[in-house]
Structure 1
């Protein structure tokens, strides 16, 4: 049974956002920005905080009181490797006591979107998955409602990850997923999902920037520092080198055909691939490198969308680079590292314009690019219609969330049944 909290006593609800925030990942912050706008618009009386991986940076950017997610993040690494290992081990035990203290007094803990139940990139069970489970357990002990809002998932192979993922999800008061694939993945891992909902990714609720004038034949190229998954740790360097070489080759081909490239990223680690593209063109095409390449850092997903508003087509790897382009109704090719990107492209009727990142073929990518460019006038209206549907679906979800998390009155029961599939 949920213990009384400040909200039950009549005070303003205390809301904590939880996740890998403050570390520079634009996709994670895009989901947060959408959920933050919802809470501030519908529940302006709420007192906001954040429990995250980069509290100092988060507080600087948002002005919201923040605290480190784990003891280790709060106290920092040891001076030597043995000392660091010891601090990490101690931190896992210390967090058993620390996490309930951190969450004590909160009424609601929101995990805003993000692929929190995914293993598409390198992930250690006793890192974020452990912190996520400990958060859900601590919240249940201290009386807070936990909400996983439009999160992503895939079937984890490791039993430890399955236990941590499903354990955290079972303790939640509210769960929703950004696609049916994610919900099905949680069901396959043993979670009962009959009452869970599916809505579009939260980033589709972000405001769309105005059109940006730009030179003709400008292409958005979204890159990432891809090193494979947990199963690929021994080959991570080779995987990264192969992917980067293909991106460099593709960029060179575009420049040779007269295109201008706007490079975009989604995480600070991606800048190494940006530099690889610049280095290659400065060496092989010095006369046009500075004229045909442009890269401007983006601090938010909103800024990234402003940059993409100034392109004609997009070719991207990171999920939220692809999503941001589609949100702007830009004809897009996905270089996919996970099923989530494939599902998104299928929903947008662009399934033929994708490739798996591990088997990326540059010649085929050029053919896909030419085909999409020719079809662009027919693609754009389809994307605009789909975007309008997504915005409406998310507005309906906000009514459901208000009732589930804040006890808002006046939400008709039938609205819960009109959820987007």
Structure 2
């Protein structure tokens, strides 16, 4: 009998080793990992450069808390500022914490309470971020949620126009909805979100927890659309598996987050930041992001070529190396069949097979994955 709370539906796999794009279970069976810790291990499992940085930091200092100055905090914050539209960074431990900080900052800065998010969004599982999430299944069983969150349909500019006014503190949006089905935002819609925020004095907040740190072929996915958010949240891929989150905001927001207004014991931990610094150095190296875009284009085009005409495939969509294959009720069966072929994938909602390979995935590994996907879809008895 397990001593763990049964809060996760786990795969029937016990992982004993991970390296690059490969996971090895307790029986020595190898799997090609197109989950990447849910878009976390963007530079591959146990990347040697990141591992060396972690080991070097372990020989210096592990933790002293935010009562002290840490140079590495300033270094990583400066990198994130350089790679984003922001000017200041708050470090925490996860994507939910980054979004929690963003919600607190928006309310404190604007002195308003209402926040607009979108149906099928996902922003975390704390009470504030759960309240911000536009999915009833995430809310069930927890009683009254945090007040003054309003959900409008994603990619629906008119619905947003009808809801926003001078009482809104912020609009929080995913540029590509991850858990909601790998649904990219339409350019006009995202531009409208930004324009309406400016018009009504609300903060424009972009949740880049899953899409950021190179996943879509840009450091942050909002760059594809020429946007300039007031607040960006990041986590997952930032630490290559070390627990870290970051909220990045524009300079004028600093006045609302003075000493004592928010905090964390472990946020900005030097070991996690050593991992983040090394990860950012890899992602920002010459041609890295161009290669992610090239590999993403290859993956999408090959998927369309190989399975696009299959009657079970409703849509194939995504950006960079964040790809969803919408196949309705067949999705769970296909995910299981791919596992049996040695390819690990995951769902995005009940109807989408999600592919999140490491950004360092090789062409050979992409071809191996594509061959497995094509084989599974060629088996006509794969039905519900």
Shorter-normalised TM range: 0.3 to 0.5
Higher relative contact order (CA 8 A, sep 6+): 2
Greater fraction of residues in helix:
1
Greater fraction of residues in strand:
2
With the length of structure 1 as denominator, give the TM-score of the two structures: 0.31
With the length of structure 2 as denominator, give the TM-score of the two structures: 0.33
Q: Larger radius of gyration, structure 1 or 2? A: 1
